[in-house]
Amino acid sequence: MTQNNHTLKVFSGNANLPLAEEICSILEIPMGKVYVGRFPDGEVEVKIEENVRGADCFVVQPTCFPANDNLMELLLLIDALRRASADRITAVLPYYGYGRQDRKAEPRVPISAKLVANLIQAAGAHRVLTMDLHAGQIQGFFDIPVDHLYANPVIIDYFKRNPSLNESGNLVIVSPDAGGVERARAFAKRLEADLAIVDKRRLSPREAAVMNIVGDVNGKNVILIDDIIDTAGTLSKACTALHNAGAKKIYAGCAHAIFAGPAIERLNSCRFEEIVVTNTIPLRQTKPPYVTVLSVARLLAEAIERTHFSSSISELFV
């Protein structure tokens, strides 16, 4: 690796402190000392409590719920580091909030994902490291380097340790919609499984109606693959459609477990064997027994270390 004489420092806001602490443990460095609190009127208060002049700083902060608070913490952390003369600042966003508003789907609406990109750049970030963007084109919203990682290797490795899933070629990877086919195809290739697609017609921005299954799932074990579980409307209806089509056992895997609103209630009513998610976002509710949470800390730590030493991280883009 290329030598880097600048000190590596990792800071975090309040969005996902356990993940940041795990990353620091893997890197064998202490967490950067910072105070992130609130003024009496509710405004975010930030103070870097150690010298960062000339340091290579990474700010681990998913912009998940509460998105606006976590976003402001991120922006103020970056600004504070810039004004404290940090040599380089990398925004590490395990989850990129507002990422689903990536285009004008109807008149007179914002492109929020682009606005957030502008804000991060204006605050003073030199690079962005993120995971499983809802739309890959968000990388192009930035005029600074963006490294886009995927949770695929972590989730795939977990399912590979369950060989009974694919007995006699009995496994099918299912995309819950046409937009997720590329992601599902990557899983299918790595797990040597077949591919199927749920043909979905969306009734409204918050409600989707499943129509039919494209592909053979009758008598097969299936894994539904998606990037986000929000209110679980799509996932629960896809599960019902797969059972109606004769699927044997149904699993699900996703990077970002938002679990908003009625998500847990909907999932409780489905017949999932297991739902595998990652810790890019801290769970806001008590974890149901059928949900398994995998850590992406080692993947992010590896990416941070390679970025620090100006080494290639392309092999992590799986």
Pair of tokens at residue 189? 């290739």
Q: Is the pLDDT of residue 85 over 70?
A: yes
pLDDT at residue number 169: 74
What is the rounded distance in angstroms from the CA atom of residue 48 to the CA atom of residue 210?
Answer: 49
Work out the mean pLDDT of the chain and round it to a whole number: 92
Q: Is the pLDDT of residue 206 over 70?
A: no
Please count the CA atoms within 13 angstroms of the CA of 254 that sit on its side-chain side.
Answer: 24
Using alpha carbons, list the distances in angstroms from residue 307 to 77, 147, 208, 265: 19, 9, 40, 41
Mean pLDDT of 96-101: 94
Contacts of 2 (CB under 8 A, 6+ apart): 309, 310, 311
| Calculated CA dihedral for residues 148, 307, 146, 303, nearest 10 degrees | 20
Interval 243-272: pLDDT, tens = 999 999 999 999 999 999 999 999 999 989
Q: What is the pTM of this model?
A: 0.92
Separate counts of helices (H) and strands (E) for the chain: 8, 14
Greater confidence (135 vs 318) lies with 135
pLDDT at residue number 316: 77
